[in-house]
């Protein structure tokens, strides 16, 4: 019996897609358990780039079952487009390899309209959402007016729920947000067409996963976003609307806590974030520009330039505790080549008070002073290296220092975007 959870431990975009794709070789089933198409996982195999937004990143491996769990919010139009693209590449040709939870909630056109309109109205105070309707869909789930796949499958139930919701949403859109009302018939027809495509994949994924785990199959849970975007534990309110920590697997996939065996955290060797919100180690000058340029730090879903900064041990230490990490994968160390000196943030100071974990107050986060230590850099290109010993001494020292500061062993180091551009320190992850 063996399961593995992969989570991002910063603000998302840590390179989870690549790591999941790599770990999927060992797995039988790969599961998404939260978030939606706000995530964008970039996979590079044989020099060819594929971006998946909803389907788990293991999809490029033949013979692996991909599961979209109940905790995911699904835009059915985006999902159909993603299936089409993958099928054109020869993946997912057999429907048995994709399973969608019957209780996953659907992103509806009014959710996207509300998300975009609210962000426009917020002006300077905007969260910088991906505009995919994620927040409004989770709001409706909690308000118990959401539409699930099981509802879509029953035309009468779907029609009633849509009519009821749309009546209220159109008043909100028109009177409060000053947006156009949406048309019932257009949405109904469009979603019924999508149902024809997706119905074949819809099952009780919680029971399916229980059965597979009991049979000894290896199940990999793929987190989206990162711990600092968790709605409870992140830099609230500049967060996403789901729980992104490893514990969310239980609720978001319907598996019991005893069935979670290993948790690996993915962290960049520096820090990035997209959207608004506190970012203590952010760099504004040429060093930040170098990270953005060399790291190709532009959003895979929105194309927005990412904010870049030094590695923040406070962030990752907090995430290590929250997620119960038993190993760490460090990504993009190749991007750090060429800095004469590197800095790591080891703690924060706010008005004389020391923090070694993330403060909850946004005021503290915005007013604090990061405490840095400096380490010597290296100039060598790292992308062709495949063992820890081959790394320049200063790069090894940098990794060892991160390990010490976080207290979790580093099992994998990524030296490039390609599947093969990886240093595997421990051979097995399950």
Q: Does 228 bind ligand IMP (CB under 6 A)?
A: no
Min CB(187)–ligand IMP separation in Å: 21
Give 2 or 225: the residue with its C-beta nearer to ligand IMP: 225
Give 10 or 103: the residue with its C-beta nearer to ligand IMP: 10
Q: Does 235 bind ligand IMP (CB under 6 A)?
A: no
Q: Does 39 bind ligand IMP (CB under 6 A)?
A: yes
Q: Does 127 bind ligand IMP (CB under 6 A)?
A: yes
Q: Does 7 bind ligand IMP (CB under 6 A)?
A: no
**CA–CA separation, 77 vs 238, rounded Å?**
27
**CA–CA separation, 186 vs 182, rounded Å?**
8
**Span near ligand IMP by CB under 6 A; candidates 42-50, 66-74, 123-131, 263-271:** 123-131
Q: Interior CA angle at 245 toward 270 and 3, to 5°?
A: 105
Q: Does 229 bind ligand IMP (CB under 6 A)?
A: yes
**CA–CA separation, 401 vs 372, rounded Å?**
13
Min CB(276)–ligand IMP separation in Å: 6
Q: Does 266 bind ligand IMP (CB under 6 A)?
A: no
What share of residues in the chain are helix, strand, coil (percent, to 5)?
40, 20, 40
Catalytic residue among 13, 21, 140, 334: 13
Give 7 or 382: the residue with its C-beta nearer to ligand IMP: 7
Give 39 or 66: the residue with its C-beta nearer to ligand IMP: 39
Q: Does 225 bind ligand IMP (CB under 6 A)?
A: yes
CB 409 within 8 A of CB 403: yes
Q: Does 82 bind ligand IMP (CB under 6 A)?
A: no
384 among known catalytic residues: no
Nearest residue (beta carbon) to ligand IMP: 275
Residue of the chain from 103, 240, 269, 331 that contacts ligand IMP (CB under 6 A): 240
**Span near ligand IMP by CB under 6 A; candidates 38-46, 140-148, 187-195, 314-322:** 38-46
Min CB(22)–ligand IMP separation in Å: 19
Q: Tell me which H or E stretch contains 222.
A: strand 218-222
Q: Tell me which H or E stretch contains 113.
A: helix 109-122
**CA–CA separation, 327 vs 229, rounded Å?**
20
Q: What count of other Cβ atoms lies within 10 Å of the Cβ of residue 75?
A: 25
Q: Does 243 bind ligand IMP (CB under 6 A)?
A: no
For 273-337, the DSSP string reads: E-SSS--TTB--SHHHHHHHHHHT-B-TTT-PBPEEE-EEHHHHHHHHHHHT-SEEEEE-GGGGT
Residue of the chain from 50, 70, 103, 130 that contacts ligand IMP (CB under 6 A): 130
Q: Output b/e per residue, 27-45; b: 16+ Cβ within 10 A.
A: bbbbbbbbbbbbbbbbbbe
CB 300 within 8 A of CB 42: yes
Residue of the chain from 32, 105, 118, 132 that contacts ligand IMP (CB under 6 A): 132
Q: Does 241 bind ligand IMP (CB under 6 A)?
A: yes
Residue of the chain from 71, 135, 295, 416 that contacts ligand IMP (CB under 6 A): 135
The residue ranges of DSSP E strands in 61-153, in sequence order, are 65-68, 73-74, 98-101, 105-106
Give 206 or 318: the residue with its C-beta nearer to ligand IMP: 318
- Give the ranges where 311-429 is alpha helix by DSSP (H): 313-323, 362-367, 393-406
Min CB(94)–ligand IMP separation in Å: 28
Q: Which of residues 390-419 bind ligand IMP (CB under 6 A)?
A: none
Residue of the chain from 51, 78, 128, 364 that contacts ligand IMP (CB under 6 A): 128
Min CB(224)–ligand IMP separation in Å: 6
41 among known catalytic residues: yes
CB 35 within 8 A of CB 72: yes
Give me the phi and psi of 144, to 5 degrees please.
65, 30
Q: Interior CA angle at 297 toward 17 and 419, to 5°?
A: 35
Catalytic residue among 21, 41, 115, 334: 41
Give 114 or 325: the residue with its C-beta nearer to ligand IMP: 114
Give 225 or 269: the residue with its C-beta nearer to ligand IMP: 225
**CA–CA separation, 13 vs 268, rounded Å?**
8
**CA–CA separation, 20 vs 57, rounded Å?**
6
Min CB(175)–ligand IMP separation in Å: 23
CB 396 within 8 A of CB 385: no
Which residue pairs from 285-288 have beta carbons closer than 8 angstroms and sit at least 24 positions apart in sequence? 287/339
Contacting residues toward ligand IMP, per CB under 6 A: 11-13, 38-40, 127-130, 132, 134-135, 224-225, 229, 238, 240-241, 274-275
Q: Which residues are catalytic?
A: 13, 41
């Amino acid at each position: 019996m063996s399961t593995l959870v992969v989570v991002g431990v910063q603000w998302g975009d840590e390179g989870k897609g690549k790591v999941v794709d790599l770990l999927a070789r060992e797995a039988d089933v790969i599961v998404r358990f939260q978030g939606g198409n706000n995530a964008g996982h970039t996979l590079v195999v044989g020099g060819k780039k594929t971006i998946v937004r909803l389907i788990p990143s293991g999809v490029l491996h033949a013979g692996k079952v991909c599961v979209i769990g109940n905790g995911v919010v699904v835009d059915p139009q985006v999902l159909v487009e993603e299936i089409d693209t993958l099928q054109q590449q020869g993946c997912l040709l057999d429907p048995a390899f994709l399973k969608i939870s019957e209780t996953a909630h659907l992103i509806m056109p009014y959710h996207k309209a509300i998300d975009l309109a609210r962000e426009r109205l917020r002006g300077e105070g905007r969260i910088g959402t991906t505009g995919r309707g994620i927040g409004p869909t989770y709001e409706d789930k909690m308000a118990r007016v959401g539409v699930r796949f099981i509802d879509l499958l029953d035309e009468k139930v779907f029609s009633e729920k849509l009519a009821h919701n749309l009546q209220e949403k159109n008043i909100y859109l028109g009177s409060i947000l000053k947006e156009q009302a949406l048309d019932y018939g257009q949405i109904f027809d469009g979603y019924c067409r999508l149902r024809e495509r997706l119905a074949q994949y819809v099952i009780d994924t919680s029971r399916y996963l229980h059965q597979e785990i009991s049979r000894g199959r290896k199940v990999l849970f793929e987190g989206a976003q990162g711990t600092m975007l968790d709605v409870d534990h992140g830099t609230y309110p500049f967060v996403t609307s789901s729980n992104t920590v490893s514990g969310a697997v239980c609720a978001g996939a319907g598996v019991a806590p005893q069935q979670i065996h290993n948790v690996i955290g993915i962290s960049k060797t520096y820090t990035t974030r997209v959207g608004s919100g506190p970012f203590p180690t952010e760099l504004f000058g040429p060093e930040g520009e170098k990270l953005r340029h060399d790291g190709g730090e532009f959003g895979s879903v929105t194309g927005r330039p990412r904010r870049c900064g030094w590695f923040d041990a406070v962030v990752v230490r907090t995430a290590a505790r929250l997620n119960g990490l038993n190993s760490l994968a460090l990504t993009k160390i190749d991007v750090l080549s060429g800095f004469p000196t590197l800095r790591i943030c080891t703690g924060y100071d706010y008005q004389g008070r020391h923090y070694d974990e993330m403060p909850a107050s946004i005021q503290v986060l915005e007013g604090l002073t990061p405490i840095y230590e400096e380490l010597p850099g290296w100039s060598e290109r790292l992308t062709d290296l495949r063992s820890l010993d081959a790394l320049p001494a200063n790069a090894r020292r940098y990794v060892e220092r991160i390990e010490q500061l976080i207290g979790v062993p580093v099992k994998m180091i990524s030296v490039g975007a390609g599947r093969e551009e990886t240093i595997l320190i421990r051979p097995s992850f399950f």
